[in-house]
Structure 1
Amino acid sequence: MKTYYVYILKCKDDLLYVGMTNNLERRVNEHKSGFNRSCFTYQRRPVELIFHQDYNDAEQAIYFEKKIKKWSQKKKLALSEGNFDMLQILSECRNATHFKYKKNNLQ
């Protein structure tokens, strides 16, 4: 059975890169060596692998990769640090129109 990985790299400029691969070691080495000059990480080396999660299903891995690519940097860092309490706090809606901020719910 094939394994797929969703991973987060931290670049030298502190930006984060999210990717997916079926060979984590090879892919991280490609990022580190500058294998692809057009890659986001090429000008931002050195890079450090700060998170990875494995999946047996490619569709699940793709879904998770797309999901966390939309997250803020703080949420990605909380995930990479295993700080699930902070991850939940950062995931809460803080919009003034959110139901929990309505006048009736504050009483």
Structure 2
Amino acid sequence: MVAILSTGDELLEIDKPLIPGHVHDANSYGLVAAVQAAGAIALRLGIAADQVEAVVERLDYAVESGTNLIISSAGVSMGAFDFVRSALEAHGELTFWRVNLRPGKPIVSGSYRGVP
């Protein structure tokens, strides 16, 4: 099973009306489709607010659900509200952060409570 996490206060679920300053969370649905097309079970974790506690809560749920892999969309750059990397550092292992590639420079790899 592959867990998919989106983060960001600017994100709205696709069934919510769009409001100024926000965007619909399309990435998680695309990732779910890709995971399913590869033959795996996808667990969509929804949208975590821009709070470290919200990110940790969703990641804990993924681990408790028996997921084998966690994929996060957003939350790994250098912004004040990017908490996925800090959650990995606090509760897991950070393999690498950032690569010299554009687009895609802010990327992180690691494990959270033993789950890559």
Larger radius of gyration: 1
TM more than 0.5: no
**Greater per-residue helix proportion:** 1
Length-normalised TM-score, structure 2: 0.30
Length-normalised TM-score, structure 1: 0.32
